[in-house]
């Protein structure tokens, strides 16, 4: 094999190895961030979960799992505007993602938007008939609407 071809081949192999190594490191950092953010969310350290997700998302802004954790952390911390923005971003990429639709419906319920919550849970049920979380959410909405009607 001519020297020039061999040098090109060696250079190409080195670049491949470096790329794979960099991806492996990025994947490990992502996995560590997911684990830490999930643990923070479990322990109700919402500000910590938000910080971890945002730091990791600075290098991978479209990461579904990190954005979903971020939306949950925002919602549980009461920052419903940021939670809704993150849910909207996720739904723009996958409008039939029932996990995100459920979170969006819950956000609407927590904000006393009973009709919006009903619409969100209904959408989940059209995509996944019999979904127990959506059915429970729908029941909460109906009870809330009925209670409102009785008072008003």
Residue-wise pLDDT tens digits, 9-66:
565 555 555 554 445 566 889 999 999 999 999 999 999 999 999 999 999 999 999 9
Predicted pLDDT of residue 144: 79
Confidence of residue 6 (pLDDT cuts 50, 70, 90): low
pTM (two decimals): 0.77
Ranges of H-type helices in the chain: 3-42, 46-57, 64-77, 80-93, 98-110, 114-127, 132-151
pLDDT digits (tens, 9 = 90+) for 103-147: 999 999 999 999 999 999 999 999 999 999 999 999 999 887 776
**In the predicted model, is pLDDT for residue 94 greater than 80?**
yes
Confidence band, pLDDT 50/70/90 cuts, at residue 8? low
pLDDT at 112: 92
Contact 137, 105 (CB under 8 A): yes
Specify whether the CB–CB gap between 131 and 125 falls below 8 A: yes
């Amino acid at each position: 094999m001519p020297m020039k071809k061999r040098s090109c081949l060696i250079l190409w192999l080195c670049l491949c190895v470096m790329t794979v190594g960099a991806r492996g490191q990025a994947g490990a950092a992502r996995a560590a961030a997911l684990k830490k953010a999930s643990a923070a969310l479990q322990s109700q350290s919402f500000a910590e979960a938000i910080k971890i997700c945002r730091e990791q998302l600075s290098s991978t802004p479209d990461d579904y799992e990190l954005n979903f954790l971020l939306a949950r952390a925002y919602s549980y911390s009461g920052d419903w505007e940021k939670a809704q923005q993150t849910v909207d971003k996720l739904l723009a990429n996958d409008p039939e993602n029932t996990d995100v639709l459920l979170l969006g419906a819950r956000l609407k319920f927590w904000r006393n938007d009973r009709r919006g919550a009903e619409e969100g849970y209904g959408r989940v049920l059209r995509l996944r008939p019999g979904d127990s979380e959506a059915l429970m959410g729908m029941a909460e909405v109906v009870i809330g609407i009925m209670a409102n009607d009785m008072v008003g």
